[in-house]
Every structure is written in structure tokens, then in C-alpha cells.
Amino acid sequence: MTRTFLPRRTQPAGQQAHSPSRWKGLLRVTVGCAVGLLLAAAAAAGQVITIDSHTGAVTNGTTGVTAGVDRRYQQITPTNVPLTKSELDAKTRLELIRNLQSEQGFAMRPFPRGHKGLTLVANGKLEPYGEKYLNMVISDGLSAKPGDRVVLSDIKFDHNKIVIELNGGPDMKHRLLRHVQIGAGPTMGPVVQDDGQEPVGARVTLAFDGHVPELTGAQVKALLAPLISFDVKTPIQAFTDTLPPKLKDAILDHHVLVGMSTDMVLFAMGQPEHKSREMDGQMPFEEWIYGRPPQQVEFVRINGNRVIRLEVAKVGEPPEIFTKDEVEGLMRTDGTPLEAAISHTHTIQAGDAERNPDTQAPAAAPSLRKPGEQLPADDDKSARVGVMKPVQFPKPKPDTQPDANSDGESGAKPAQPAADASQPAKPANPDGSQTAPPAKPQAPDASQPN
């Protein structure tokens, strides 16, 4: 459903300063401008956008990019680890540091590089999640992808928190001392040597209610299970455990689906035997080729980071071509298939979207009329419109005054009628000339006196 936001009627100057409806009108104008900018951007790009009225997700029909969040950024399922009410003592703290320091695991969620990091409440929810989680990854960068190996490089304890640094942490070492220099006169030397490398680690904060209770290393690993898996796995097992079951089975069975990312294709098929870069109109793409004849050959076409076309060629059989995206529905935020949301979608065509002449009527010509408005001139116009007939020229009229030329020059004489064969020929003179007929006597004019 599309809603139009309009400002309220402007009030007098003396009432605007104290009227709350004025601010509501300004807010509606701001929201309307944002919606207008979104539709204008789609029209400029000549794309077809789909708005899900049930979830509010905006989908680009050309590239298949969904404005909703991926299921890897959604809220986690809370754990259920029994905890004691006694407070953590110094001895247990040292044992935890000794057991967890330099421990390795596999990332189950994307880890951002930000200074704040992720906060996981013990047997509770993850903060942030959804769009805030995705915005943190976009703004601060990605430290580890799902399935990557991570190392617990440092562990710190607060009064109700356990702060865990992954892969060196997101902050520079000696954040303050690296800016301090000591020396005499013109010779100055830094207190701490800086190698100049940017940190690429992440931070996870495990928060408790009130204080940190007595814990063991196994309990801390169980609490971190939604984010980090400490089981002994291969890289492909760690990666596929973060995916839906159907997508996981496809990768383990070495099948490629349209919509997979390049990481999924590499885990499913490995490195391709041959790569080529080509252009399809204005769209660049890569063709990854797996297999050689007489075995089955698969041509995987990739645009950006997604598979957009799969062609399977077998000897003696026509090639099979797949273009339908089968992964987008599996990676939705709510985890439902794509077909379940079709009834809630409304497609809007904007810009240079192509029209199907078999199912869509041609667009009407632009007009300044209101919908359904009729003008008085429409009846006259419809009466004048008809089938064009051949042009008829006027027939030539005979010249009634053959001797009208007054300059004495010989003019064009009228054509003489042909002699009738039924009339007898007139006798000719001895010199060969024709005898003129006698003149008819003229009747006397009554107006003249005798």
C-alpha cells in the first residue's frame, strides 16, 4: 500500500509558534520528501522496485538487492546455561584467563571492527541486532565473516562484564602513549613504538545481571555459542552451520544455486578451472567454468558477489539454464521462503522499465486534465475524426470567351469538332477552298426607327 504524506493547512502567523500541528505538518513533509527521493532515485536508474507492505522491505528488481536485513543480523535464540549466584573470585578469574586465552573458534555471525562491538547478555538477547547491527558492519568494517576462524586474544573482567578481544581487538595498542614523546631539545622519541598497522579485530562483551558469577571455561563457551563455536570443525562445516538447512545441504552436496555468494560457490565447488570476464550489454560479469568434456561442465555467471545464471552442459543433451534466484527467500530476515511473501508485495514500475505488450496496455499520453475530466471540445473533435478519403480536384470548365485577348496576338484556338461521317461533304471551290455558308438574315430591331 502506498501512502501520500501532505502538510496541513498553513495557520496564521500568530498561531504557528504554539500549534503542535505545525510540527506534525513539517514531519510529514520531511517523510514525504524522503519517499520522493527514494522513488526519484529509482526512476533515474530505470529500475523496478518492489515494496513489501507486510514487512516494509524494498527490493530492486534489476539487481535483486533487498533493503531488509539478512537473517545473520537478526536476533539470536537465548541460551539456557545454569549459573550460580556466588560472585567470581580471584582464583577462578585466573583459571578462566588461562583456559580461554588464545582459544580458537569459528565465527557464527559477522563481527564488526567498531570500538563498541557486540554485547551479549548471558542467557539473553544480543545488542545491537537488525538494522543497527548491519549499519555497524557497514560503517566500521568487517572483522570476521561467518565461518572464519577467530582467536580470543585478550580477556578482561569488569564488575558485571567479561570483555573478550578477538583477533587483536578493534583498538590500537597503547591508544594514549603512542601520542606521547620524550626528549631534550630538538631530539624527541616516542614512548611506545607504533608499527602503523590498523587493527582488524573485534570485541564481544558478555554481560551479567549485577555481578560476574562463578564460571568455568565450558560455561563461558556455552554462553558464547550463538556467536562463536568452539567445536572441532572443518572450515566448510563451520561455514555451513550458519546457513539454512536447504542451503547447507546444497553446499555439502557440491551444488550451485542461483543467488549464492562467491564464498558459497567456493565452499561448494572450490576454485574454478577457468575464469573469463565478459560484458552483457552494459553489465560486466565473470564466468566461472567447472569441469571438462566428456564430464559435466557448469558455467557459473557472477555479477558483483552473486550468481545470476547457471548453465549445466552434458554430452549429448541440451544445456540446462537456471536464472531464478533460489537463495533470496532462504536468507530473509524472518527465514520464510520467498513464495510466502508474494501476496504482500506490490510492484511499482518507474523510469525506463520495459512494458510487456501482451499483458500491459500502452501508457496514456501526458495531459493536464484531471482523471475523468471531459472538455466541451471533445464532441466536436470526435465528429471531425474519420477515415481520410482521396483528394478530388475540381473539373476544368470550358473557356466562354476564346477571343478575350486584347493585344491582337493569336491565342489558342478551340479544337474543331471532327466531321460527322453521316453528313455529306460540302463542295469545294475550284481553288480547293471551302465555300463559306451563307449568312443568316438578321431580324429587324424593333427599337430602331425605319
Q: What is the pLDDT of residues 254-268, one digit of tens each?
A: 999 999 999 899 999
User: Phi and psi (nearest 5°) for 303?
Assistant: -120, 115
Please state the separation of Cα 268 from the chain's center in Å: 27
| C-beta separation of 199 from 114 below 8 A | no
Q: Report the pLDDT averaged over residues 330-344.
A: 50
Identify the domain boundary among 282, 317, 349. Answer: 349
Greatest mean pLDDT among 26-35, 107-116, 325-334, 413-422 lies in: 107-116
Per-residue pLDDT at 395: 83
Q: In this structure, is the dihedral angle defined by the CA atoms of residues 304, 305, 308 and 310, taken in order, positive or negative?
A: positive
Tell which wins on pLDDT, 81 or 434.
81
Q: What is the CATH number of the domain that holds 262?
A: 3.30.1450.10
> Which pLDDT does position 15 carry in this prediction?
44
Assess whether 219 and 288 both reside in one domain: no
Domain assignment present for residue 371? The answer is no
Which of 87-101, 167-181, 216-230, 277-291 is least confident? Answer: 167-181
Same domain as 205, residue 279? no
Please tell me the predicted confidence (pLDDT) of residue 236.
83
Q: Residue 271 pLDDT > 60, yes or no?
A: yes
User: What pLDDT, on the 0 to 100 scale, is given for residue 298?
Assistant: 93
Residue % of the chain over a pLDDT of 70: 64
Query: Is 361 within the bounds of a domain?
Result: no
251 and 160 within one domain:
no
Residue 120 has what pLDDT? 94
Structural domain contains residue 412 = no
Shared domain for 156 and 56, answered yes or no, is no
Pick from 349, 381, 407: which residue ends a domain? 349
The answer to whether residues 223 and 254 belong to one domain is: no
User: How far from the centroid of its chain's Cα atoms is residue 3's Cα?
Assistant: 21
Q: What was the pLDDT predicted at 429?
A: 56
What the block records as the C-alpha cell of 273 is 578451472
Domain range for 233: 76-173+199-238
- Between residues 169 and 449, the one the model is more confident about: 169
Residue 445 lies in a domain: no
| Domain shared by 157 and 206, yes or no | yes
274 and 291 inside one domain: yes
Look at residue 83 and tell me whether its pLDDT is greater than 60: yes
More confident residue, 2 or 161: 161
Residue that has been written with the C-alpha cell 548453465 in this structure: 311
Helices (H), ranges, 385-430: none
Q: Are residues 207 and 257 in the same domain?
A: no
Mean pLDDT, all residues of the chain: 74
Split into its structural domains, the chain has a count of 3
What is the CB neighbour count within 10 angstroms for residue 65? 12
Residue at 280 is within a domain: yes
Amino acid at 318: P
Establish if 187 belongs to a structural domain. no
Do 141 and 258 fall within a single domain?
no
Q: Which of 29-33, 170-174, 236-240, 404-408 bottoms out in mean pLDDT, i.e. has the lowest? A: 29-33
pLDDT of 294-325, one tens digit each?
A: 889 999 999 988 999 999 999 888 999 999 98
pLDDT digits over 157-211, tens only? 988 999 999 998 888 776 677 778 888 878 887 777 766 678 889 999 999 998 9
Classify residue 231 by its DSSP letter: S
What are the DSSP E strand ranges found in 193-344? 202-207, 228-229, 274-280, 283-290, 297-303, 306-313, 320-322
What pLDDT sits at residue 364?
75
**Does the residue 60 lie in any domain?**
yes
Do both 104 and 250 map to the same domain?
no
Residue type, 180: V
Closest of 52, 100, 406, 392 to residue 230, by C-alpha:
100
Confidence of residue 375 (pLDDT cuts 50, 70, 90): confident
* Residue whose C-alpha is closest to residue 61's, from 53, 51, 70: 51
How many CB atoms neighbour CB 228 within 10 A?
23
- For residues 122 and 61, state if they share a domain: no
Dihedral of CA atoms 254, 255, 258, 263 in degrees, nearest 10, equals -10
| Lowest mean pLDDT segment, chosen from 42-56, 101-115, 206-220 | 42-56
Give a yes or no: residue 338 inside a domain.
no
Same domain, yes or no: 44 and 136: no
